[in-house]
Chains A and B, each alone.
Chain A
Amino acid sequence: MRFIKTSLLLLNLASFAGIKAKLFQPKFNIKQIRAIKSENLSYQQSRNGHLQMTKNTKTKDLIKHEDDNVFYKVILNNPKIIGIEKKVNFFTDLNLRKNNHLFISELGSSKVMEIGKGLNLNLHLDGIYASFSKINEQKISILNLKNNHEHSLTYSNKWNPYFRPEVVMNYGKDIFYNDYSKNGLMRVMQYNLKSKKKKVFITAKSQDRYFKFCSNESKGMIYILNTSLDFKNKEATSITDLYGTNLYLTDFRINGPLICHDEHLIFVKENNKEKLLTNKKFEAIAYSLKDSSLTTLHKSSYNINIFKQDDKVFFLNEDLYYEVKQ
């Protein structure tokens, strides 16, 4: 309960903060859109199963496919390189563990390069590195996109067949990823690309806890969310930095990703109805790294999915997209 009080106090102090959410209403139809850099550059899937790029109103095919039984996921988290996951037999092979075809492309370019097969493609350090996992082999590949050098890390997981490790990097070439200990406790692992040394960074206290993280590359800092998969959230949810400093604590669990966005951490808190009788169960919050203030961006009785597109943050709620603006 004390965590709620702390949060509410900080929330009041932050009522004049500049960050807010605005309904996102671009001039073009976003029904088939897979990623948006700006109104002049976007990626979409065509009805016949091709991945297309629209640049200054001109549309080009990036990846072609023979039928529409396919789905493309475009990862746009930096200003240089995009990642593409191509899921073939999308409707007939409902398999969460099947490896996708993975591609990269320079932002705005029509050239596409296949880099392998796997899941959870992510780009790091402004597109210098790509990471992806092969969950059937329990391996994470770290690919240097400049020299094509690939590191392969084995992660430990005898527990959750659907688990996909989350991977972040910093400029010290430290890779942080999560996996499971022998006892089924989630861990944050640290692996250094230069020294090739691996160590356990944090281990969860109970089996319902899990970690998510984001990297603020300009600050060289990684932030770690420690919350619960159990809606009862028996311990407090916390967000800490790499040094273990507690930045935010709450009685409720946090859903979805932790997003590093300039001077803010953005996340969605789930107000549990057992503890707080409210229809507005979900709350998107921006935590200021400058003054620790909290700003409520949006409240809803429907889930809020936040995601990043390069330097912008969006969220989906009740079929509407919103953009977080400073």
Chain B
Amino acid sequence: MKKTRTLLCKVLFFSTINIFAQSQGLLESFKSLISADKRLMSYYSKETNIPYVIRSKKDLDHKNYKYSIHQDYLNSLFLHNSENIIHQIKNNTCKLYEYLSLDLIQHPILKNDLILSQYNIKNKNKRFVKANKRVYLEDLLKRCPNAIANATLLRKKNYKLLKRFNFEKLLNHKSCLSSIQDLAHSPNFSYLAKMAIDSSKNPKINKSITPEQARGLNLFAKYIKGDKNICQVQEGKNIFNLKNDPVVFQNLLKPLCKDYFKTYRKLKNKEISSCLENIKRNPNFCYTHKTRFNRAFYPLQDCISLAENYILSKNKNLASDCPGKIPNEGIVNASRILSLIQPSKQENHCFSDKLNKLINFSNEEGIENLWDVNLCYFNNLYKEKRCKKVLFGKTDSSINYSKVIERILKEAKFIKSGSSCSLTRYKVLSLGEINQGCKIQMNTEKCSLHTCPFSVFINGKKIKHGITSQSSIALNYLSRTNKDYSTSFENLLISKFNFRKSAIKDFTILKRFLNKEKVIIHGVGCAEDLLPQAFMRLSFNDCTPLPFLISGVKSGLGNIEDVLMNLSIDNMINTREISWNEISSSISTFYKLFNNWSLNAIYKD
């Protein structure tokens, strides 16, 4: 029934186009219309019935003939192409020629050819001929300035033009419908449509554009192909259907599903499908995502909000993590920023990979006290206390805790230089061969990245290892004042990566910077304004500094736009929607108290 209605629309539409002199019999049944079209086109496609006359430019004889596209061919085009794109043509022949030349509309059988009416000016005879599509359209398109402009842009693979389109609005289900209308009425519609179709056919293009643009084009391609429900697809629960998108899967869906099955192992396809179905039905599941044992601020938001905000966030490459394992929110934010600049190929476990990047950065920049976390022991040979830098997390670097403990045990002569230790979470029994050698037993429930109680067993016997932990963590996150050029993280970052810095003082500027490709928007605001449900202002000029990243804008009802942000106490997956007013209050209070503007964009042009 739906298909029939669509066909009727197409026929009605077709009948309004000036190009068709004759009226098509609307009383014909649609089925017979389709079968008639099939019959006609198989007849026309045979060269014995219709001669192939125009193969090159010289075959076009405008002195003696007038040409027009055959009505049956057009009829067939409109029947077989998406209503969404046919509607764009209206009575504009330039658009028809342009869409035909870009293959945005295509004949199902005669893909590269046209059927033309060839009218002899002298003897007034009319006959049907077949023509090469490109040859015939080349001259006609020269009279269509918009088509020339779009064709030039497309020939030069000008991806930069994509910046002009607001894909964030398209990807937000609340603003999606109005965004479709905006895009469809854009003078660059054909450029966008061609890019969308090309990127759906050739995913390599996606490497040259932002993930936001890739997702936006993908969605627009569906619209071009006639999908009327693309805006419904953008609703939060439908984001759980995006398991074939590698970024969404890796950073959003997989961590949620591993948490759902409470496992670290690889999940089977069946398990992922069942997990996503269950999450859709029970969105409150995400309140507890990775929060047990103090891994992040609890509760998170529900799964629908998480998914909607994630899909609109610029920082999709940062996976679910655990900031609660680091006792310094400045270090959390700084680690995330470095991971955005230098994305990781390996899977991020909790936070150790992100933090390891920051420790390396600080070592290179000569900040020694950032991660001054050490395991110390008394060296009997040199009669002195010796300390080694350590990170209690999964990392391949030399400060990995098991490597450090093993090195100390060797230096303190508990084990021989050639032997090694293995890790165990469970109690080591004193019986059996399985316990031979060196075992390090961790109490993972009480572990953070800077501290972790552990015992050492050698051949099943617990030893008094005498290893003590010593930690000091500090980071001068922002410059103390606007005139301070000291070694703050922000300044070091700017000088190392040749970034530029701009203060963000209003919402318009924020949105402008969010449209840049290489930009990080970060800040420190008063927690009492950003999360008043959890942090309360108790007196005059009270402020608890809380670093954060800004990752996008989300439109809601009544065209009110909110800011998407990642607080340094939240799991990265828990992108929050906070109003600009709340953010500006938090920054303005911080500025009044400490005379330092703390919301900045660091970017490359």
Contacts and interface: CB of A to CB of B under 8 A. Distances in A.
Given A159-B292, A184-B291, A274-B557, A230 B301 contact: yes
Given A207-B299, A273-B557, A301 B536 contact: no
Contact of A94 (B297, B475, B558, B582): B475
B558 A277 contact: yes
A33 to B, nearest CB: 5
Contacts of B284: 206-208
Contact of A319 (B532, B556, B592): B592
A316 B532 CA distance: 12
A120 B473 CA distance: 22
B474 A30 contact: no
A162 B324 contact: yes
B294 interface: yes
B435 interface: no
Contacts of B588: 319
Interface string A139-160: 0000000000000000000111
Contacts of B547: 94
Nearest to B293: A158
A309 B579 CA distance: 29
A213 to B, nearest CB: 12
Nearest to A300: B581
A321 B592 CA distance: 13
A302 B581 contact: yes
Contact of A73 (B532, B539, B558): B539
Interface stretch (B325-333, B375-383, B501-509): B325-333
Contacts of A94: 328-330, 475, 477, 524, 545-547, 568
A189 interface: no
A73 to B, nearest CB: 6
A232 interface: yes
Contacts of B330: 92, 94
B287 interface: yes
Interface stretch (A8-16, A48-56, A95-103): A95-103
A296 interface: no
B585 interface: yes
Contact of B533 (A32, A98, A255, A318): A255
A6 interface: no
B528 interface: yes
Contacts of B536: 256-257, 305, 307
B541 A32 contact: yes
B149 to A, nearest CB: 40
Contact of B327 (A36, A98, A255): A98
B537 A307 contact: yes
Contacts of B569: 96, 161-162
A124 B262 CA distance: 43
B545 to A, nearest CB: 6
B302 interface: yes
Nearest to A42: B540
B538 interface: yes
A302 B586 CA distance: 10
Contacts of A232: 302, 305
A30 B540 contact: yes
A33 B541 contact: yes
Contacts of A162: 297, 324, 534, 569
B480 interface: yes
A26 B479 CA distance: 32
A198 B78 CA distance: 77
B24 interface: no
Given A208-B284, A274-B556, A305-B528, A93 B473 contact: yes
Interface in A138-195: 158-163, 184
B581 A34 contact: no
B431 interface: no
Contacts of A92: 330, 474-477
Contacts of A93: 328, 473-474
Interface string B279-315: 0000010011001111111110110010000000000
B324 A161 contact: yes
A301 B539 CA distance: 21
A30 B541 contact: yes
B529 interface: yes
Nearest to A207: B287
B75 interface: no
Contacts of A30: 540-541
A36 B541 CA distance: 11
Interface residues of A, number: 58
B539 A302 contact: no
A227 B284 CA distance: 16
Contacts of B544: 96
Contacts of A324: none
A303 B527 CA distance: 12
Nearest to B332: A94
Contacts of B298: 159-160, 163, 184, 207
Contact of B292 (A95, A158, A229): A158
Nearest to B536: A257
Given A94-B524, A229-B299, A303-B585, A253 B538 contact: no
A213 B568 CA distance: 27
A35 interface: yes
B597 to A, nearest CB: 15
A75 B478 CA distance: 28
A76 interface: yes
A256 B568 CA distance: 20
Contacts of A201: none
A73 B538 CA distance: 8
B542 interface: yes
Contacts of A31: 541, 592
A36 B540 contact: yes
Nearest to B327: A95
Contacts of A207: 284, 287-288, 298-299
B291 A319 contact: no
A314 B64 CA distance: 90
Contacts of B293: 158
Contacts of A229: 299, 533-534
A322 B293 CA distance: 41
Interface in A32-46: 32-36
A160 to B, nearest CB: 4
Interface string A206-218: 1110100000000
B589 interface: yes
A316 B537 contact: yes
Residue in A36, A159, A227 with the greatest tally of chain B CB atoms within 10 Å? A159
A162 B528 CA distance: 14
A309 B539 contact: yes
A54 to B, nearest CB: 13
Interface in B540-556: 540-547, 556
A117 interface: no
A184 to B, nearest CB: 6
Interface of A: 30-36, 71, 73-76, 89-98, 158-163, 184, 206-208, 210, 227, 229-232, 253, 255-257, 268, 273-274, 277, 281, 301-303, 305, 307, 309, 314, 316, 318-319, 321
Interface of B: 284, 287-288, 291-299, 301-302, 305, 324, 327-330, 473-478, 480, 524, 527-529, 532-534, 536-547, 556-558, 560, 568-569, 577, 579, 581-582, 585, 588-589, 592, 594
- Closest A-B pairs by Cβ, 5 of them: A161-B294, A161-B324, A160-B298, A94-B330, A305-B537
5 contacts: A91-B476, A95-B327, A230-B287, A255-B533, A268-B532
Given A256-B532, A274-B557, 11 more contacts: A34-B540, A73-B538, A73-B542, A92-B477, A95-B327, A96-B329, A161-B294, A231-B577, A302-B582, A305-B528, A305-B532
